[in-house]
Amino acid sequence: MYLRLPELAEENDVLDRQPGEALWSEKRDEEELHSIREDIGGLKFNAIHQQDPKPREGKYFKEDYFEIVDTLPN
């Protein structure tokens, strides 16, 4: 189990914040967070500020990592 508290609220926020609402607006308000996202890019922002890191390709496992077989091995 883990707790994820993104700096900008998303749908179904565990703290009942509205989407886009800042976690701690006294420290960083919505405007500053959007500016940070523009400066560092979406991938870094999601990893650092939204606590949701993802690989650049958007998937953890690529289809070509797996071999599709018709029958199970003996």
Q: Which residue has the higher pLDDT, 61 or 59?
A: 61
Asked if the structure places residue 10 within a domain, the reply is yes
pTM of the entire predicted model = 0.73
Q: What is the Cα gyration radius of the chain?
A: 18
pLDDT computed for residue 59 by the predictor: 67
Q: Which residue has the higher pLDDT, 43 or 60?
A: 43
Asked if the structure places residue 49 within a domain, the reply is yes
Asked if the structure places residue 45 within a domain, the reply is yes
Cβ 7 vs Cβ 53: under 8 Å? no
The kind and range of the H/E element at 41 are: none
Q: For residues 37 and 47, what is the distance between their CA atoms, to the nearest angstrom?
A: 11
pLDDT computed for residue 9 by the predictor: 98
pLDDT over threshold 80, residue 60? no
- Reported as a single tens digit per residue, the pLDDT across 13-59 is 999 999 999 999 999 999 999 999 999 999 999 999 999 998 877 66
Number of domains in the chain: 1
Asked if the structure places residue 13 within a domain, the reply is yes
- Domain interval for residue 29: 1-55
